[in-house]
Amino acid sequence: MKLYTYFRSSAAYRVRIALNLKGLAYEAIPVHLLRDGGQQLAPAYRAVNPSALIPALEDDGAIVHQSLAIMEYLDELHPAVPLLPVGALARARVRALALTVACDTHPITNLRVLKYLKGPMGLSEEVKAQWYKHWLGEGMAMLEAHLANEPQTGRFCHGDAPTMADCCLAPQVFNAQRFELDLAPYPTIMRIHANCMALPAFAAAHPSQQPDAE
Amino acid sequence: MKLYTYFRSSAAYRVRIALNLKGLAYEAIPVHLLRDGGQQLAPAYRAVNPSALIPALEDDGAIVHQSLAIMEYLDELHPAVPLLPVGALARARVRALALTVACDTHPITNLRVLKYLKGPMGLSEEVKAQWYKHWLGEGMAMLEAHLANEPQTGRFCHGDAPTMADCCLAPQVFNAQRFELDLAPYPTIMRIHANCMALPAFAAAHPSQQPDAE
């Protein structure tokens, strides 16, 4: 398998964790989101993924895009070390936690949105930073509200083994730390994050450990 | 089952289509996103869904939130009239198309983001409209690029039966029409949309047909 990745992309980071948890070897193909005006926007990468977004997984010649779809795909084909628990309600809870990050936190604060605020909208670096912290804070507060109050939360987002939800949580915390968001209001997220990062699968997927790290 | 819904919420619209396709009866519980400063933000609704987002499904006392997690849940428990095709790669394609709408189009253009642009950021109605059209256009272009070029596209997003991807496509087109986006650049989306809206399950889920329609 080949993974089109960028060391700091949190969507790519999710998939790297999932691959590592399952013990699946892959070749990393770095796509630099800032170099050459954004290598993901070039025709060569659009031929791989017409959405021009990272990550994409190439498996036996076929391309799968969207990090959550990639994780579901890996889970269906390689069910050992499952990323979803048993039972429809439990699976729904894990998917909903993952989507809280992937739909309602990350897309509003990702690179292409931040670039649009500064470029076409002409807003200042300060306003851009306010935007980032506002929406990241909203998303983290939603996730904390679920994790802190739902009895299914354990050492990880759902019970005592990592799931797809943890694969989304850890990269989002990395982003929050990088942009110096105050993380004190999110003790449950941070407790789970510490448990995640103690696992080699998460640690090896961290941006600093990637071949294209800067 | 009870569905916490708002007639114009495109995430709720997705789930209404899925319930109708499967022939599952449900009680609609309207939550007005604009009245009373947003009824979804009130403690009564936060007790149902701490994320304070619509929709949420109540099934036998349990709550499932996030529209895509709800659709996966319904598909696992009520597999007749499947929302996902057979085969891991086909399922991944449908999920990725659904996520292209649910992650990379809708959250950047939803009500809470538009309110923030006008309120705390103090931007004009005109700039807000530009934002909306820019990100909606980006999302529609991504979806069109996949649908127009991938051989799996049929009468619907994947083959000739509606899936989870169509449950996301139709509400997004409704939003685009409502905000008068030029839809000429998206002929494949619009062809599929016409096929969707010819089905009673889609037509009955349309915002104009809801008990809380205005």
Task: Note every long-range contact of B174-183, with CB atoms under 8 Å and residues 24 or more positions apart, other chains counting.
Answer: B174/B10, B174/B13, B174/B206, B174/B207, B175/B10, B175/B106, B175/B109, B175/B136, B176/B136, B176/B140, B179/B129, B179/B132, B179/B133, B179/B136, B181/B133, B181/B136, B181/B137, B181/B140, B183/B140
One-letter amino acid of B103: C
Q: Do B129 and B172 have their domain in common?
A: yes
HEC readout, A172-210 = HHHHHHHCCCCCCCCHHHHHHHHHHHCCHHHHHHCHHHC
Q: Is A110 a domain residue?
A: yes
Which residues of chain A register pLDDT less than 50?
Answer: none
The pLDDT tens digits for A51-88 are 999 999 999 999 999 999 999 999 999 999 999 999 99
Domain end marker among A64, A81, A98 = A81
Q: Is A59 a domain residue?
A: yes
Q: Do B116 and B181 have their domain in common?
A: yes
Contacts of A121 in chain B (CB under 8 A): 127, 131
Chain B residue with minimum CA distance to A138: B51
Q: Do A59 and A116 have their domain in common?
A: no
In this prediction, residue B153 carries a pLDDT of 98
Q: Do B66 and A108 touch (CB under 8 A)?
A: no
Nearest to A107 by CA among B177, B113, B183, B157: B113
**Domain carrying residue B127:** 88-202
Crossing angle between the packed helical segments A88-102 and B67-77, to the nearest 10 degrees: 160
Chain A residue with minimum CA distance to B59: A89
Contacts of A106 in chain B (CB under 8 A): 103
Q: Is A61 a domain residue?
A: yes
Chain B residue with minimum CA distance to A74: B88
In this prediction, residue B80 carries a pLDDT of 94
In this prediction, residue B213 carries a pLDDT of 97
Residue A23 Cα, gap to closest chain B Cα (Å): 19
Q: Do A71 and A19 have their domain in common?
A: yes
Q: List residues in chain B touching A: CB distance below 8 A.
A: 46, 50-53, 62, 64-66, 68-70, 72-73, 76-77, 88-89, 91-93, 95-96, 99-100, 102-104, 106-108, 112-113, 116, 120-121, 127, 131, 134-135, 138, 142, 145-146, 149
Q: Do A58 and A106 have their domain in common?
A: no
d(CA A10, CA A105): 11
Instruction: Output the domain CATH number for residue B120.
Output: 1.20.1050.10
In this prediction, residue B75 carries a pLDDT of 98
Q: Is B208 a domain residue?
A: no
Q: Is A214 a domain residue?
A: no
Q: Do B51 and A142 touch (CB under 8 A)?
A: yes
3-state class (DSSP) for residue B122 = coil
Q: Is B214 a domain residue?
A: no
Q: Do A119 and A188 have their domain in common?
A: yes
Q: Do B142 and A68 touch (CB under 8 A)?
A: no
Q: Is B212 a domain residue?
A: no
Q: Do A95 and B69 touch (CB under 8 A)?
A: yes
d(CA A182, CA A173): 11
Q: Do A162 and A61 have their domain in common?
A: no
Chain B residue with minimum CA distance to A101: B103
Which residues of chain B register pLDDT less than 70?
Answer: none
Q: Do B20 and B53 have their domain in common?
A: yes
In this prediction, residue A150 carries a pLDDT of 97
Nearest to B91 by CA among B99, A5, A28: B99
Q: Do A92 and B72 touch (CB under 8 A)?
A: yes
Residue A137 Cα, gap to closest chain B Cα (Å): 12
Q: Do B142 and A113 touch (CB under 8 A)?
A: no
Q: Do B98 and B192 have their domain in common?
A: yes
Instruction: Output the domain CATH number for residue B17.
Output: 3.40.30.10
In degrees and rounded to multiples of 5, residue B202 shows phi and psi of: -75, -45
In this prediction, residue A177 carries a pLDDT of 95
Domain end marker among A81, A115, A147 = A81
Q: Do A120 and B108 touch (CB under 8 A)?
A: no
Residue of A65, A78, A91, A112 best to disrupt the B interface, most CBs of B under 10 A: A65
d(CA B28, CA B20): 13
Q: Do A88 and B73 touch (CB under 8 A)?
A: yes
Neighbours of A185 (CB within 10 A): 12
- Out of B46, B52, B69, the one facing A92 most closely (by C-beta) is B69
Q: Is B213 a domain residue?
A: no
Q: Do A9 and A99 have their domain in common?
A: no
Domain end marker among A61, A81, A101 = A81
Nearest to A98 by CA among B66, B139, B54, B48: B66
Q: Do A40 and A138 have their domain in common?
A: no
3-state class (DSSP) for residue B141 = helix
Residue B93 Cα, gap to closest chain A Cα (Å): 7
Number of domains in chain B: 2
Q: Do A56 and A116 have their domain in common?
A: no
